[in-house]
Amino acid sequence: MQMSARNQLPGRIKKVKVGNVMTEVIVQVGRQELVAAITSGSAKRMKLKIGDQVFAIIKATEVMIAKE
């Protein structure tokens, strides 16, 4: 799979909350959790389930950095 997005984070699905229209997918990336909201149709088509290895792909024009 080739993709133009540079931020491709490998992780494992921790939780899938299926809704009528949207599905919330929680991905464990290292010690962090990433939450993605995708269409329920896409979640069903991809057959996403807990434990699946996936890539969280972030394509954004803005990324904020914070430091304490």
Residue range 36-61: mean pLDDT, rounded: 95
pLDDT for 28 beyond 90: yes
User: What's the pTM value of the predicted model, to 2 decimals?
Assistant: 0.85
> CA-CA distance, 36 to 58, in Å (whole number)?
10
Would you state the pLDDT for residue 34? 95
Q: CATH for 7-58, among 2.40.50.100, 3.40.50.2300, 3.40.309.10, 3.50.50.60? A: 2.40.50.100
